[in-house]
Amino acid sequence: MPAFSSPAPGVQSANFRFRCIGCGDLSDSASQDFRCAHCGDLLEITYPQWKKAKPNAETLKAAWSERRLSQSPVDLSGVWRFRDLLPAPDTTADEAHIITLREGNTPLYELPQCARSADVSRLFAKHQGMNPTGSFKDCGMTVAATFARRAGFRWVACASTGNTSASMAAYAARGGMRSLVLVPEGKISWSKLSQALDYGAVTCQLRTDFDGCLRLLQELVRRAPVHQLNSINPFRLEGQKTLALELLEQLDWQPPDHIIVPGGNLGNSSAIGKAFVEMRELGLISRLPRLSVIQAEGANALVRTLRETGGQRLVSVQAETRATAIRIGNPASWKKAAHVLEATGGACEQVSEIEIAQAKAEIGAEGIGCEPASAVTLAGLKKLVKQKFVQPDESVVLVLTGNLLKDPDFTIEFHRGELFKGSADEEASAGLDPLRRAPIVLDATLDAVIRTLEQAEKS
């Protein structure tokens, strides 16, 4: 056990600086809560040298493409392949210290059936659930964990609705660090919890919600030399930016009209938006896609913040949704996300539990699948089309943030017709019956199986 009373080593900058999103103060190091020493707002990472010597867009594209042929661990990572736009280690020796699980490199799938159901002509899914631990968190974690180890930390910690903890535990283990996980008791899926356990984290199920876990973590990092790997940590967001770079490379650098992202603590939408703004600044793309954020109705803090205060003041909510990954009422990065919506001209919408369940089953029926929080994107798209914010001839990319296997309980309850039992939604959910595929228990006879096949053929 390290001496927790000793002062934590500060993170020193190399090719980047920290900038406060509130007062704009620039600094070379950050305190453990990653908040501005002057005004207390969140920090972001900025690259002052781009002003003096702007990287050439065509040279970057060629280098990134060439690195796909390389077998070195940094090039095999779908995050570090784009290291020119990251707080990349500044010497070759440092590159050997990168903690990577070959994250990124995620597929872009076309979704023709979902496109028809949403009434758009071209619909794609960027599937971040195909990352090593099954969620988009890995892309941020490789960067944040690498810098945590570089700063000399032995312990890393996070508050989580499940995916961050799974990812952090894996990267800490790979990097020889210990990890501490704070999760809300009974409110995260068993598959996510089991990942943290297997990767060796000290896992605490706290009798509170995610927001309570995050509050406690903020206090902990001021008292103990543990490095927080929540998305308040701006290194996380730099890694998560690479989703946008990889996506644009897959689209031959032609931006889609819309990109739709689920919103929880609002780190991911902030990261993706930052990437697009930087890409336009560097001439990698000539126009910004509209980035829209979708939340569950029961965890709609950003929706309310924008509608009720015009984005001036956070409206916190008591979060409740079966999409447990985004069961967050007090999102830390709301200001960053509000800024991204403004910069890209995106929308912010909310969707019901039934709409989430339906969208998830539709994505599953395309052979793709995702976890409930990811499905808010398709549900939200349908609303944005009805509102004519998205036109039928526009191209749309949904960011699927987590793998189908992350929350099997939700999926099984849905198909058995048990998801909404006893809730106010029960009656309305009857309309979802055509999507349900409950498992069928039969005697082990050929006749029974053939009869079932014939019945299925008729349905």
The footprint of ligand F0G (CB under 6 A) covers 135, 137, 160-164, 231, 262-269, 325-326, 371, 373-374, 401-402
Number of alpha helices (DSSP H) and beta strands (DSSP E) in the chain? 18, 13
Question: Which single residue is written with the structure tokens 């999103």?
Answer: 21
Relative to beta strand 258-262, strand 178-184 is unpaired
Indicate the residue among 264 and 289 with the shorter CB distance to ligand F0G: 264
Tokens of 112: 């023709």
Q: How far is the CB of 194 from ligand F0G (least distance, A)?
A: 14
In contact, 32 and 8? CB cutoff 8 Å: yes
Q: How far is the CB of 442 from ligand F0G (least distance, A)?
A: 35
Distance CA 266, CA 270 (A): 6
> What would the DSSP string read from start to end of 168-205?
HHHHHHHTT-EEEEEEETT-S-HHHHHHHHHTT-EEEE
Q: How far is the CB of 209 from ligand F0G (least distance, A)?
A: 12
In contact, 282 and 337? CB cutoff 8 Å: no
Q: How far is the CB of 257 from ligand F0G (least distance, A)?
A: 22
Indicate the residue among 74 and 231 with the shorter CB distance to ligand F0G: 231
In contact, 13 and 331? CB cutoff 8 Å: no
Bridge partner residues of 109 (DSSP) = 125
Indicate the residue among 46 and 401 with the shorter CB distance to ligand F0G: 401
Q: How far is the CB of 333 from ligand F0G (least distance, A)?
A: 7
Distance CA 277, CA 274 (A): 5
Indicate the residue among 162 and 273 with the shorter CB distance to ligand F0G: 162
Quote the Cα angle for 225-228-229, to 5°. 145
Q: How far is the CB of 438 from ligand F0G (least distance, A)?
A: 25
Residues whose CB is less than 8 angstroms from the CB of residue 128 and which lie 6 or more positions away in sequence, other chains included:
106, 135, 136, 139, 243, 399, 400, 401, 402
In contact, 184 and 208? CB cutoff 8 Å: yes
Burial class (CB in 10 A: 0-12, 13-18, 19+), 306: buried
Indicate the residue among 157 and 325 with the shorter CB distance to ligand F0G: 325
Q: How far is the CB of 240 from ligand F0G (least distance, A)?
A: 8
| Of 276, 246, 313, 217, residue with least CA distance to 104 | 246
Indicate the residue among 78 and 140 with the shorter CB distance to ligand F0G: 140
Element (H, E) at 259: strand 258-262
Q: How far is the CB of 135 from ligand F0G (least distance, A)?
A: 5
Q: How far is the CB of 39 from ligand F0G (least distance, A)?
A: 23
Indicate the residue among 60 and 295 with the shorter CB distance to ligand F0G: 295
Q: How far is the CB of 262 from ligand F0G (least distance, A)?
A: 4
Name the residue type at position 75.
D
Name the residue type at position 423.
S
Q: At what angle do helices 372-386 and 353-364 cross, to 10 degrees?
A: 100
Query: What is the Cα Rg of the chain in Å?
Result: 22
Relative to beta strand 155-159, strand 178-184 is parallel
Quote the Cα angle for 362-367-371, to 5°. 60
Q: How far is the CB of 382 from ligand F0G (least distance, A)?
A: 18
Indicate the residue among 173 and 356 with the shorter CB distance to ligand F0G: 356
Indicate the residue among 82 and 410 with the shorter CB distance to ligand F0G: 410
Question: Which single residue is written with the structure tokens 């032995």?
Answer: 154
